[in-house]
Amino acid sequence: MRFIHRLGYYLGGFAIGLVVLAFFLSGKRASCSYFPQARTVKNISIKKHTYSTAAEATRMSLGLDTLAVNELIKTSEVDFDKSDQRKEPCGIFHLESEGASGNVYILSVENCYKEAKILSIAKK
């Protein structure tokens, strides 16, 4: 079989595979988060959130509801220099995010296996 025929079969099979893959992945919340920043934020955002008493008081005084805090977490950037991700049993991460009002918030989150506990919320 000549090279041009083999190339044609290869490209045809590749195109069919792409169509099948697009069909299976469409409509699903599939994502590829390869970098540590994206993986950490996604891991924290999908877990159940609990608040320490200090974080709850600060959240109320700043006028933030739980939906706003969830949005802050999803759009945040992790400061790995200030974070202690290897702490046992739960790593502590410092997140920085800009709110809808333009204010910058700093969250300290304890990322455990089943939940993420928000330790503190500060306005920068």
How many independent structural domains does the chain possess?
A: 2
Q: Name the pLDDT band for 100 (thresholds 50, 70, 90).
A: confident
The reported pTM is 0.71
- Mean pLDDT (the chain) is 88
Q: Are residues 25 and 46 in the same domain?
A: no
Phi, psi of 120 (to 5 degrees): -155, 150
Same domain, residue pair 21 and 78: no
Q: How far apart are CA 115 and CA 101, in angstroms?
A: 28
**Same domain for 18 and 38:** no
Share of the chain above pLDDT 90, in %: 52
Q: Containing domain of residue 102, as a range?
A: 34-123
Q: What is the pLDDT of residue 27?
A: 67
Q: Is the N-terminal amide bond of 89 cis, ω within 30° of 0? A: yes
Q: What is the pLDDT of residues 11-55, one digit of tens each?
A: 999 999 999 888 877 766 666 777 888 889 999 999 999 999 999
Q: Which of 40, 80, 65 is nearest to 121 (CA)?
A: 65
Tens digit of each residue's pLDDT (9 = 90 or more) over 1-11: 799 999 999 99
| DSSP string computed for 57-98 | HHHHHHT--HHHHHHHHHT-EE-TTT-BTT-SSSEEEEEEEE
Asked if residue 78 has pLDDT above 70, the reply is yes
Q: Which residues contact 47 (CB under 8 A, 6 or more apart)?
A: 111, 112, 114, 115, 116
β pairing state of 104-111 and 77-78: unpaired
State the pLDDT at residue 86: 84
62 and 17 both lie in a single domain: no
Task: Count other Cβ atoms within 10 Å, centred on residue 22.
Answer: 9
